[in-house]
Every structure is written in structure tokens, then in C-alpha cells.
Amino acid sequence: MTFKELNLKRKVKDAVAKIGYTEPSPVQEQAIPEIMNGNDVIACAQTGTGKTAAFALPILSKLEAVKPKKIRALVLTPTRELAIQIFENFKMYGRYLPLRAACVYGGARQTPQIVAVKRGIDILVATPGRLMDLMDQGFIDLNDIEIFVLDEADRMLDMGFIGDVRKIESYMPKKRQSVMFSATIPGRIEELAKEILKNPVFIDIEPEIKSADTVNQKICFVEKENKIKIISEMLLKDDVDSAIVFTRTKHGAERLVKDLGRRGIAASAIHGDKTQGQRQQALQRFKSGQVNILVATDVASRGIDIPKLGHVFNYDLPVEAESYVHRIGRTGRAGESGEAVTICTSDEMNLLADIERLIEKEIPELETEWSVEVSRQVIKKRSRRIQRQINKRIRKRNMQSEQADRTKHDDDKKYEKNKKYDNKSKSSTKKDKSSKKSKPSEENRKTDFTDNIRTIKPEFKKERYKKSEKQKNNKASGSRREKNFGRRDDKNVRKTSNGSQRKNKSSYGAVKSKKDKNKISRSIP
């Protein structure tokens, strides 16, 4: 099956084609038709299986542009890193649609997020804490939600967010479509599914845990500062005719290409910041033999098919264990033998433990002059300890950010109250007071909606107070302009916001392993 065969909007298919996707992953192939048909869905699928596109593509295809814009699709995810990644995917898949999305999460300033929401959006990606905080302040309502997606439900449970999820769900219309994704389905998640889903279709995706027998896997333990030395040494070996080197980030890919170039090793990079044309050009140079080293990230490498690829190197271990299987599967195809060498540092030991648990075997060690000794038992214990620490830090960070937000909101309310009292005391007559309270004319309804969320400077008290009174009687004022989804009017953002826009980098935690399950679709009894 290809994406062209799926019942998606033509413009969504065009965006998918531009990215370079041709065939849907198993979870996409099964989930997209069910969501497009309006069914509630619960999907058991690991991170890294393409589940974001499994719900993002049908959401973009089902929503029609409306005026004024209302929040009609909500994606709830446990961490800000995941929220940012999902938001970026929505922008990428919806680049040709007149739909808008916003992303709200803790640990960042509220004002830019509030401005984005107030401009009018169709899709909201959020973490539970920040969403509840903005709902309490009256900036967000969920009365028009048509599609609700609960992502990483098992992590929501681990991080103590299930109570928040239930509360958020209670503010949504009962008549809606709901979708749930989870790597595992423990008892409490099953109970939650029965509460928020109606006659759901159950989709169970078996993780691809089998690595090819034709791939000779090796792992090399080194200090971080020696990574570039050992990868250069390996790439210069006579038996390395062609190789793909995987990095974790796009910045890491660019940096590695430069470092290799300084050592006389020509390489091309493909990653998410490259256009499709640039990726194709780099791939063509590699296939034609102009360069024999291709440096790639996991996202950009999807769909790459290179016959007779001799070597795969993992310069960085992937954060999702399943990605390791996909990476090394690039070599050793069609009965040919291949080599897969992984370079592992001390801060990646937990990722290695997840990989070995997934593939159900220990990767043989490759000793070099740069090798360091490690204990496998220590790796396994450290992996479990690190995951517990990560979950604890995430919970603490979310609680701190929410408390800070509430404190700031209370201070702002106190300041506004004192300011209004000072202005009222300066009024000389009841006539003046009543005139201030009078309804503004249509000609004066030109105030910007963002003034309601600004902190008013003391030196402009009198003038701004008059303006704010007009705003109270004209909440619906302010112009709204429809823009293409994923495009940002930087000029407008600077005009309506007191803060600068910042880009955030996304990261992932380690993926938990799960038991083998059959790849089926069925209804929960």
C-alpha cells in the first residue's frame, strides 16, 4: 500500500510526497482508514513507529477551514519535547492547508502561547499542566473539540497525569471522536480507554525486534572525545566501499560532515533541514559514487533504499530502540552480508540496554585502541535507574513550571486590581465614571486583543486604562486573517507580543520494551 491509496486530502498527500514518504508504516496503514471513517481508536504502538502521522494526517484531512477559527482538534501529550515534535509534524504535513495550530507547554513563557491561541487556531497540541492553567485563566475552552488524541497514555500514567487527563476530558463535548496511543496497555490504561472511548477499534502493532541474520553487529565502547577518531579510522579501512553513518540530530550530522572533511573524508548529509531536492541530490551523489559516505538522521533516512550497502555505523545511539533495527536493516539485504558497528559512550549505556532488551541478544564487543571496559550488568541496572530519575525530574519540572505560572498570574491580577483602584480615585464626578463605563462606538473598536494580556506600564496608566475599558466591552474585536498553515507572519507576531519567538529542540526518552503481540484490528470488549 502507498499513501496515494489512502483516503486523505490531496493537499495532505502532496505534503507527504514532498517529504519523501511513499509507503505508510503498519500503524499508519491500519489507523488512518479507521480514523478517517470516524471510529474511536486505541493503538498499541511503540514510539518511532510513525504514530504521529497516523493521527495527524487524518486530522488534517477531516478538518475544514472555518471562520472564526475554533479549537476543534486537541492532541494531549506528556512532555514538552513530544509536544514540540508533534506540532512541527502538523506544520510539515499541513503546509498546503489553510489550517492553523498552536503548541502550549510548561517551562516556557505563557504570552507567546496565549497570543497564538487568541489569533484563532484549528488544532492545539498541549501538555496537561499548561493546558489546565490556560483553561483556568479563561484563555482556552474545549467546547468545540471534534477530535481528541491522547498520545503516550502509558507515560501519562507513569508521570501521574491520569487525573489531569480525566479532568481535561470532562470539559470536552461528549459527541466527539477520540483516539488513544500507548506503548503498553496496563490495567489502568484499559480502564481509562473504556471511559473516554466509544466502541473503539483496537490496533496492535508488533514491534520489529528481529534483526537480519545477514548483518554482523558489533559495538565499541569509547570515551566521548574519541568518537570522531574511531569513526574516521573505521571509514578509512579498505573494506569500507560505501557506508551510512547515523547521528541523533541534524546539527550533529552537519558537524560530523565537517569533522570528517577536515580529516580528508568526503561525506554528504541528509536531515530534516534539507529540502527534498537537496536530499535527492545528496543521495544521488552517494549512489553514483561521487561520495561513499552518507551521514543521516533517522527521520531523513526513511525510505532510503541503497542496494549492496556494505556498512552501517551508529555514531550516536538512537533514542528509540526500534530505530536501531531500522538502521542496521539498511545493510545485509537480498542475501548479501553487511556490517553494523555501533559507537557507544558512557552517557548512552541506558539506550544500549533498551536496544539489547528489544532484540533479545547481547551485541558482541569490538575492541580497538580506543576501547574502554564496561560491565553489561552495570548497564542494565543503570538503565532502570536512569529511567526512574528521568520520570522524577519530568514530574518535578512540570510542577515547578505550573507553580511559577500560577504565581505570575496572581501577581498580574493583584497589580491590575490596584491600578484600577488608583484610576477610579482620580475620577471627579459620577458623570465621568459613567462615561468611562459607556459602550464604545464602532469607530473606536480598533484595539488589539493582545492588550488584554499585557502588563500595563505605570507611566501610561491613564491612557491604557481607558483602552482596557473599551476592550472589556468589546471582547470580540480585533481582526483575524486567515493564513496558510505552518507559515508565520513574523511582523504580526512582533506587533502583538512583548516577547521574542524562540525555537525549541525536541528530544525523547528511552522507549520501553513490550511483549510480542499479533498485528490485528479488533474492538475492545
3-state class (DSSP) for residue 42: strand
Question: How far apart, in whole angstroms, are the C-alpha atoms of residue 191 and residue 184?
Answer: 13
508, three cell numbers = 525523547
* 20-24, 92-96, 317-321, 385-389: least confidently modelled range: 385-389
Give the residue with greater pLDDT, 197 vs 250. Answer: 197
Class of residue 524 by CB neighbours under 10 A (exposed 0-12, middle 13-18, buried 19+): middle
Give the residue with greater pLDDT, 337 vs 212. Answer: 337
3-state class (DSSP) for residue 481: coil
Say yes or no: do domains 3-208+506-510+514-523 and 215-386 share a fold. Answer: yes
Question: How far apart, in whole angstroms, are the C-alpha atoms of residue 130 and residue 124?
Answer: 12
Check: CATH 3.20.20.140 for 3-208+506-510+514-523?
A: no
> How many Cβ atoms are within 10 Å of 449's Cβ, its own excluded?
20
Q: How far is CA 352 from CA 206, 314, 349, 373, in A?
A: 21, 11, 5, 15
β-strands 201-204, 520-523 pairing: antiparallel
The pLDDT tens digits for 57-89 are: 999 999 988 888 999 999 999 888 788 889 999
SS3 for 194-247 is: HHHCCCCEEEECCCCCCCCCCEEEEEEEECHHHHHHHHHHHHCCCCCCCEEEEC
Class of residue 477 by CB neighbours under 10 A (exposed 0-12, middle 13-18, buried 19+): middle
Mean pLDDT taken over the chain: 76
The pLDDT tens digits for 26-68 are: 999 999 999 999 999 999 986 667 889 999 999 999 998 888 8
SS3 for 438-471 is: CCCCHHHCCCCHHHHHCCCCHHHHHHHHHHHHHH
Burial 38-71 (b: 16+ CB within 10 A, else e): ebbbbbbbbbbbbbbbbbbbbbbbbbeeeeebeb
The pLDDT tens digits for 312-359 are: 999 999 887 778 887 888 887 666 778 999 999 988 888 888 888 888
Can you give the pLDDT at residue 126? Answer: 96
Angle of helix 128-136 versus helix 162-170 axis, rounded to 10: 40
Domains in the chain: boundaries? 3-208+506-510+514-523, 215-386
Question: How far apart, in whole angstroms, are the C-alpha atoms of residue 363 and residue 89?
Answer: 33
Question: How far apart, in whole angstroms, are the C-alpha atoms of residue 423 and residue 437?
Answer: 13
Question: How far apart, in whole angstroms, are the C-alpha atoms of residue 71 and residue 194?
Answer: 24
Question: How far apart, in whole angstroms, are the C-alpha atoms of residue 393 and residue 382?
Answer: 16
Amino acid at the residue 18: K
CATH of span 215-386: 3.40.50.300
| Residue 232 scores a pLDDT above 50 | yes
